[in-house]
Amino acid sequence: MTLTPLTRPLSAEDAAHFLRRTAFGATDAQIRALVGKDARTVAREALAFDQKTAPGNPFDPMQGAGPGPMIQLTRGAWLFELVYGPHPLREKLALTWSNHFVIGTDKVRNVHALAGYLGLLRRHAATTSFGAFTLEVAQAPAMLRYLDNDQNRRGKPNENFSRELLELFTTGIGPYSEDDVREGARALTGWTFEGGRGNQNYRQAPRFVFNERQHDAGRKTYLGQSGPLRGEDVIRLAATHPQTAVFVSRKLHRAFLADTPDGAAVQGSAETWRRTNGNVRAVLEELLSSEAFYASRARIIRSPVEFVVGALRTLGQPKLEAKALLNLTQTAGRMGQVLLQPENVKGWDGGREWINDTTLLLRLQLAAALTLGSKAPPLTAAPSALALTGLERPPGAAATLKLNPRQATYLHLTSPEFQLA
């Protein structure tokens, strides 16, 4: 059974909820603009993003004096887009996919490979073909480097990418065997890239190549299919496996509905996934306009990046200096989320793992810096309780009535209602 659509017009709290989940946060005016609208229309309009980016991005990774500075500039450029970009849902999805198709800057240290990877996540953020998305990821130099498929050759197969393709990117653990991993690696032999290798060539553009001489052209059996399978075949078979619909739908539900998703709701999205042949846009449109979505309140702990971006978008996107934005990428890292560097190939666990004594203190300190500090951005009027908490009358709202705008905003930013989306 697919997800039941929400049929009532959006209330103010519905609108705030939608923007907290899909745009990290919003101003009062942005929330009010959605009140009274149809849920399906709102979801469809939010998903109708293009590839435009925020003007005036001060970070140019090509100006990095070496791989390390280049990576820092890349992180700064992404945070700028997250905060000031015209399509926050696209960036939310790109952040989600970066925790699914994981790469890491510990190994990927080429400016073009990182830019190509981010561009790929944005282009396919709400893809109509998960299979096409997965194929492009598999052939991206960033992924070829990170999971060592550039070292995968006939007679000496490297199984790293073949294993993660199944375990983490498509079916999840269960539907495949070790033989599938080995046979998949054989099919993917010869997929590599040229250019951009080594720290001295971090500005040189790499490109995917298929080295026919290194490809194992023999017969293989993979997920029940046999023949002289090639890389494109195993990508297609993994991406279209029935269990992939469930595994990836659960990831989308974790991003938009709850840290611990409801199994029946996940199955509803999986049914839509199968019916539309992996059309992620259709799955998202249904999910973001469903009763399940609007009934799921305060069930996602904001990640460090989402906390930073949510605070700044709710404050009206105040213009920060480039140095301050770079400092915020480092602050998010100290809170446990370094952009483009998840903890391992499995990605960030998220949920309760985001919160401990140290990271909670850092969140309080950041909230103070954005509201009470001497270098806090201008704030003439406090955002409403609705914008900050998703509730028109949150618990403890009366305590803020006698406070000045900065104090009231700080109190809300540190509240459980802001930490939970």
* Tens-digit pLDDT profile for residues 215-243: 999 999 999 999 999 999 999 999 999 99
Distance in angstroms (rounded) separating the CA atoms of residues 77 and 60: 7
**Distances 266 to 4, 171, 214, 356 between C-alpha atoms, Å:** 12, 14, 41, 29
Nearest 5 degrees, angle CA 416-CA 319-CA 47?
A: 65
Average confidence (pLDDT) over 341-361: 96
* Tens-digit pLDDT profile for residues 243-290: 999 999 999 999 999 999 999 999 999 999 999 999 999 999 999 999
SS3 59: coil
Strand partners, 225: 222
Instruction: Report pLDDT for 399.
Output: 75
* Tens-digit pLDDT profile for residues 55-104: 999 999 999 999 999 999 999 999 999 999 999 999 999 999 999 999 99
Distance in angstroms (rounded) separating the CA atoms of residues 213 and 17: 54
Instruction: Report pLDDT for 379.
Output: 85
Which two structure tokens, joined as six digits, stand for 211? 């080295």
pLDDT at 381 over 90: no
User: 153 with 189: CB under 8 angstroms?
Assistant: yes
Instruction: Report pLDDT for 169.
Output: 98
pLDDT at 382 over 90: no
* Residue in 25, 101, 16, 3 with CA at minimum distance from that of residue 315: 25
Strand partners, 281: none
Instruction: Report pLDDT for 245.
Output: 98
Q: What is the mean pLDDT of the chain?
A: 97
Look up residue 318 and give its amino acid.
P
Instruction: Report pLDDT for 107.
Output: 98
* Tens-digit pLDDT profile for residues 190-222: 999 999 999 999 999 999 999 999 999 999 999
Contacts of 16 (CB under 8 A, 6+ apart): 26, 31, 386, 387, 390, 391
Give the single-character DSSP code of 351.
G
* Tens-digit pLDDT profile for residues 141-179: 999 999 999 999 999 999 999 999 999 999 999 999 999
Which two structure tokens, joined as six digits, stand for 260? 């611990």
